[in-house]
Amino acid sequence: MTEQDKKRMVTAVFRDRTQANRVYTWLRDRGYTADEINVLMSDQTRSAYATNGEDDLVSSRTHAAEGMATGGVIGTAVGATLAAIAAIGTMVFIPGLSLVIAGPILAAFAGAGAGAVAGGLIGGLIGLGIPESNARAYEEALRDGGVVIGVTPHVGEETAKIRNEFEKHQGENVVVI
């Protein structure tokens, strides 16, 4: 397998929730499913999303609500936002930071097991291939209410488009791993 054949994940941290929502919606509009988009945020940030009426789109009529009832993930509800992801994200308790994780990155954290949790968030992120300097910046931003979003492009040409969109919406520490 050549370097070009490998699937690469593009990640960034967004300190502004409006920008994070825009990026998430842009990815969904490009055909990425909720199951393909990684979202990390602190429990405190999740609480802020869940209590803000303008972003709280989880109602009894949405697929997200059905997912919560069955323990599943967000379905194909059009216009699903980070608020809905936050409502059903799985909690991982890392010393000093209660972390909400949604998307395929959850399996990677779970696969790392207790070692990732014992090593803290930075250790878990480094284990996923995020450079230490970026992992430290992500941890700091998460503590300050930021949201980390990551996605593996469907095709190689998408990598640059996703990176550009992340930067356009004030994504910080954009990295391709």
Check if the beta carbon of residue 14 is closer than 8 Å to that of residue 147.
yes
Q: Compute the C-alpha angle 11/135/93, nearest 5°.
A: 100
User: Picking from 90-94, 135-139, 158-162, which range would have the lowest pLDDT averaged per residue?
Assistant: 90-94
CA distances from 115 to 9, 28, 59, 119, 123 (A): 22, 33, 37, 6, 8
Q: How many CB atoms lie within 10 A of CB 157?
A: 8
Q: Could you tell me the pTM of the whole model?
A: 0.73
Report whether pLDDT(67) > 50: no
- Identity (one letter) of the amino acid at 100? V
What distance in Å separates the CA atoms of residue 13 and residue 2, rounded to the nearest whole number? 29
Where along the chain do its domains lie? 7-176
